[in-house]
Structure 1
Amino acid sequence: MTQRTAYSFRTDPIVPAWDDSLGLIVFDGDCILCSRFVQFVLAHDRQAYFRFTTAQGPLGQALYRHYGLDAVDFETNLVIIEGVLHEKLSAFAEVTQRIGGGWQVLSILRQLPRPIADWTYDRIAKNRYAMFGRRESCLMPSALEGRYVG
């Protein structure tokens, strides 16, 4: 299923239910760059708006499949805000907008033409393990306790 309407996952029987009143970031738990992004959000999300799940877990797998995305290579983090999927550089920009503070300036990345933004994001995503490394196991820092959606 590749529905992109808000909250489409609610009616998909393969997607486990979760509290979707808060933002959700689905990240590659094996990717060091992705894990650092999660650590960045944890450090700056003063309102504790975002919840997290790994792409390797049941909810992450179901969401990748629901949106018709590769559920093996995870070449984008998924960010779901108010039921709407954001991916690639748009996801990063939405997160920086939501966490506020000086980081909101990075939300200007939404103004980049989508083909340029996607091309840039795709180059980094395809080479993220070579550039930043890969974890032996998924990141589960103690800071995620209470904010991890399994």
Structure 2
Amino acid sequence: MIIFYDGYCPLCHAEMRHLRKRDKHNKLTLVDIQSPSFAQTYPHLDWHALNARIHGQLPDGRIITGLDVTHQAWKAVGMGWVYAPLRWPGVKVIADWCYIKFAKHRYTISYLLTGKKRQCARCIPGEPNEK
């Protein structure tokens, strides 16, 4: 599975770091949409849509978004049960609405929760490049 995420968002970057640690079987490819090479590598994808919310591409080529990506990513590393309740009927509608609000205000929310401002993932000392 390919995950297209915003490497400028401290919370998004942290989640990718946690996924990378747990991805023992290399099931995930993490792609920072803020990377200088992104547009050349993925010219067929709409950067603005990807920047509005997290996107993923399943092995069969289907594109998924939002919490479906989060659930599938954690499922791929053996921890899908953590996010599975967010995909249950009834809960899914509310969780998706909350995620859309989070995505729209992710830099402010990240700052409030982590104290870190929007930053370039490549500028964080000691962080390995995404695979």
State the TM-score bracket (shorter-chain normalisation). Answer: 0.7 to 0.9
CA distance in 2, matches of 1:97, 1:127: 26
Is the alpha carbon distance of 1:61 and 1:127 closer, same or farther for their aligned partners in structure 2, counting shifts above 3 Å? farther
Is the alpha carbon distance of 1:40 and 1:80 closer, same or farther for their aligned partners in structure 2, counting shifts above 3 Å? same
2:107–2:118 contact (8 Å) kept in structure 1: no
Instruction: Please report the TM-score for the alignment, with normalisation by the length of structure 2.
Output: 0.75
Give the counterpart letter for 2:17 in structure 1: Q
The residue that corresponds to 2:120 in the other structure is 137
2:9–2:119 contact (8 Å) kept in structure 1: no
- Alignment of 1:87 onto 2:65: yes
Unaligned runs of 5+ in 2: 112-116
CA distance in 1, matches of 2:16, 2:33: 13
1:78–1:86 contact (8 Å) kept in structure 2: yes
Aligned positions, number: 116
- Residue among 78, 82, 98 paired with 1:106: 82
Unaligned runs of 5+ in 1: 1-22
- Residue among 42, 45, 70 paired with 1:63: 45
The residue that corresponds to 2:104 in the other structure is 126
Superposed CA offset, 1:70-117 (max 9, x none): 35xx121111111121211111111111110xx221241222444323
1:53–1:60 contact (8 Å) kept in structure 2: no
CA distance in 2, matches of 1:70, 1:122: 12
Q: Which has the higher helix share?
A: 2
CA distance in 1, matches of 2:88, 2:2: 23
Structure 1's consecutive aligned runs of 4 or more residues displaced over 4 angstroms after TM superposition are none
Instruction: Please report the TM-score for the alignment, with normalisation by the length of structure 1.
Output: 0.66
RMSD: 2.2
Give the counterpart letter for 1:70 in structure 2: A
Could you say what secondary structure the match of 1:79 adopts? strand
